[in-house]
Amino acid sequence: MLYYQNNKISIYNEDVLKRDLFSKNSFDLTVTSSPYNVGIEYNSNDDTINYDDYLQWSKEWLDNLLYWTKETGRLCLNIPLDTNKGGKKSVGSDITQIAKEVGWKYQTTIIWNEGNISRRTAWGSWMSASAPYVIAPVELIVVFYKKEWKKNYKGQNDISKQEFMEWTNGIWTFNGESKKRIGHPAPFPRELPKRCIKLFSYVGDTIFDPFLGSGTTLIEAKLNNRIGVGLDISKEYCKLAKNRIVNEVGLF
């Protein structure tokens, strides 16, 4: 169901597992962060399902996304490196492998260093080799493509020399977003989709986010002169995204 549409921005209140939502070859670039399955209290997705079920669910939506993506399209997927929930899980590695199994081609991994993560909640064995825990305060932005990495057509770029030089360095350092300020349990900062959009797409391309949440990807799509399409299973989050777009972009 189309929830909101205005001036090249569209929001759908639907389930990402519904393959017939969009036609084949619809999107140039997807920038998204799927649920991490680490117990975050969304008002829709169960974020504590069995890990094997979580991986199977991920496989299904990644396959749909591949179908919806243009031949020259790309995917920037923000996922955790690993998790301690329910035992150690190599989430980043597992999701990357599943994406390749359904047909995505791997390009690179950007390390997002969230400079504001400093709290430690589990040391394991304190000052002992018995069972120390290592916690990496980073997340991944894994970049995939559908057919060929090099685009076979020339579009309009809007990235500056300084931005290109800085952002092609595979370690990005910027703070995360405030859950309280945004009103969503797992928002990513606007800097993340902004960099992905300007680095990996042309002006006028169609940008997609199948887990729209608070609408950050569509805000940056509009501000950077792209077409934005968002999808979320939660009507509450669709409303949140619409309100943010109205307030931060000025669309009504």
Task: Summarize pLDDT for 84-121 with one digit per residue, the tens.
Answer: 777 788 999 999 999 999 999 999 999 999 865 555 55
User: Would you say 44 and 14 are in contact if contact means Cβ atoms under 8 Å apart?
Assistant: no
In a domain, 123, yes or no: no
113 contacts 136 by C-beta, under 8 angstroms: no
Identify whether 23 is part of a domain: yes
Can you tell me the mean pLDDT for 8-24? Answer: 97
Alpha carbon distance 156, 203 (integer Å): 5
Residue 40 has a pLDDT of 44
Domain-located, residue 185? yes
Average pLDDT of the residues in 140-166: 97
Confirm whether 112 is domain-assigned.
yes
pLDDT above 70: residue 220: yes
pLDDT band with cut points at 50, 70 and 90 for residue 47: very low
Average pLDDT over residues 65-76: 98
Are 37 and 48 in contact, with CB atoms under 8 Å apart?
yes
Number of domains forming the structure of the chain: 1
Mean pLDDT in residue range 40-52: 59
Alpha-carbon distance values, 107 to 7, 15, 114, 150, 205 (Å) = 32, 27, 22, 11, 20
Domain CATH code at residue 7: 3.40.50.150
| CA dist., res. 69 & res. 83, Å (int) | 29
Domain of residue 218, residue span = 2-118+133-249
Determine, yes or no, domain membership for 127: no
Chain centroid to Cα 90, Å, comes to: 18
**Residue 128 within any structural domain of the chain:** no
Residue 38 inside a domain? The answer is yes
- pLDDT band, residue 195 (cuts 50/70/90): very high
Would residue 125 count as lying in a domain? Answer: no
pLDDT value at residue 168 = 98
The answer to whether 26 and 244 are in contact (CB under 8 A) is no
